[in-house]
């Protein structure tokens, strides 16, 4: 029998079919196309599931269960997305709609929890009892394991690391607070930081303009890093500031939980050592446990973009 995992993100709806060896054998993918209602997005989730099942060369009769990860706070028992600031969901009946659409047992939790679960079972967190994984994408999600058990909290909303304030009275966040970490260190954040910097008169000659063909709408999360690699002054400044914000939040989490391993995933993790090494250097200088003989290992996620899909498919095991 096979299991289906749905990774609902702010940019894409990604679906995978996994076999008994936990390999993805079929895929489906559509754009999330925000802003849209839950019903509109769910309709495309159904389409993407069927795409993945067809791609796997199986039928829905061969599927044992469907798991889904979504940004936001999810009630684990009911599978209701009580609130998602990035998707603008309020009390969305995700689990019941999946079961109604496919006639299969369904499981729903936060998308970063899914990615963390996959890394815990198959990737950087394998064999690690105390483990944190974050995802740097449209926002910042997090999954936390304490003594091999996922921390869910009284309402299933534990691990919303992106809504930890790092800048009081800072940028307004969709959650209602100001200065949330994800407004400074997500992929969305560095895109906005790059655009803002380009619009300053002092930077009309930045190499970044060559990278984006003089079209500011083409800025993405890689742009500033690519410019930095080409020795561009502005790109370097943007990346250094972004790293500062990212390391600030990671240091906070390490100070609170002191995990054995801390994993950085999501789209921005594709920058690899260009992101990891300066983050590690900064955290090593700032963490409270600086004099301890035991320190948290900070690493890049092994499962990359497949973590959310695989973790979602494995939700029936927790």
Beta-carbon-side half-sphere exposure of residue 109 (alpha carbons within 13 Å): 34
CATH 3.30.420.40 domain position(s) in the chain: 2-117+306-317, 127-301
3-state secondary structure of 102: helix
Q: Phi and psi for 31 in degrees, rounded to 5? A: -75, 145
Are 48 and 55 in contact by the 8 Å Cβ rule? The answer is: no
Q: What is the mean pLDDT of residues 66-91?
A: 89
| Residue 317: per-residue pLDDT | 73
- pLDDT tens digits, 150-183: 998 887 778 889 999 999 999 999 889 999 999 9
- Complete edge-to-edge strand list for the sheet that includes strand 297-300: 149-150, 140-146, 131-136, 261-265, 297-300
Provide the phi-psi class of 224: left if phi over 0, else alpha when psi is between -120 and 50, else beta: alpha
- pLDDT tens digits, 22-37: 999 999 999 999 999 9
Residue 131 above 90 pLDDT? yes
Q: What is the mean pLDDT of residues 68-81?
A: 89
Confidence of residue 54 (pLDDT cuts 50, 70, 90): very high
| Residue 221: per-residue pLDDT | 97
The CATH number for 127-301, chosen from 3.40.50.2000, 3.40.980.10, 1.10.3720.10, 3.30.420.40, is 3.30.420.40
| Residue 201: per-residue pLDDT | 63
Helices (H), 90-232: 94-102, 111-122, 182-185, 187-198, 208-211, 223-229
The span from the CA of 148 to the CA of 296, in Å, is 16
Which CATH code fits 2-117+306-317? Answer: 3.30.420.40
Q: 10 Å Cβ neighbour count for 228?
A: 21
| Residue 202: per-residue pLDDT | 64
């Amino acid at each position: 029998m096979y299991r289906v995992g749905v990774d609902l993100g702010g940019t894409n709806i990604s679906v995978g079919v996994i076999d008994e060896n936990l390999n993805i054998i079929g895929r489906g993918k559509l754009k999330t196309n925000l802003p849209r209602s839950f019903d509109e997005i769910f309709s495309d989730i159904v389409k993407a599931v069927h795409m993945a099942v067809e791609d796997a060369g199986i039928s829905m009769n061969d599927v044992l269960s469907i798991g889904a990860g979504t940004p936001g706070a999810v009630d684990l028992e009911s599978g209701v997305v009580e609130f998602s600031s990035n998707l603008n969901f309020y009390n969305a009946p995700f689990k019941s709609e999946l079961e109604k659409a496919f006639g299969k047992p369904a499981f729903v939790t936060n998308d970063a929890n899914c990615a963390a679960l996959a890394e815990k079972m198959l990737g950087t967190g394998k064999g690690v009892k105390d483990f944190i994984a974050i995802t740097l994408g449209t926002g910042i999600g997090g999954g936390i394991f304490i003594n091999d058990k996922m921390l869910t909290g009284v309402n299933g909303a534990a691990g919303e690391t992106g809504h930890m304030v790092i800048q009081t009275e800072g940028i307004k966040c969709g959650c209602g607070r100001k200065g949330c970490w994800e407004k400074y260190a997500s992929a969305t954040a560095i895109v906005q930081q790059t655009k803002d910097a380009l619009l300053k008169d002092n930077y009309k000659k930045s190499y970044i303009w060559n990278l984006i063909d003089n079209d500011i709408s083409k800025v993405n999360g890689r742009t500033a890093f690519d410019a930095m690699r080409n020795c561009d002054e502005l790109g370097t400044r943007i990346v250094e500031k972004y790293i500062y914000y990212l390391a600030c939040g990671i240091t906070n989490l390490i100070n609170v939980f002191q995990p054995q391993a801390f994993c950085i995933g999501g789209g921005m993790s594709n920058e690899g050592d260009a992101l990891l090494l300066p983050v590690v250097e900064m955290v090593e200088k700032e963490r409270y446990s600086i004099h301890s003989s035991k320190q948290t290992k900070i690493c890049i996620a092994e499962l990359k973009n497949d973590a959310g899909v695989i973790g979602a498919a494995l939700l029936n095991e927790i």
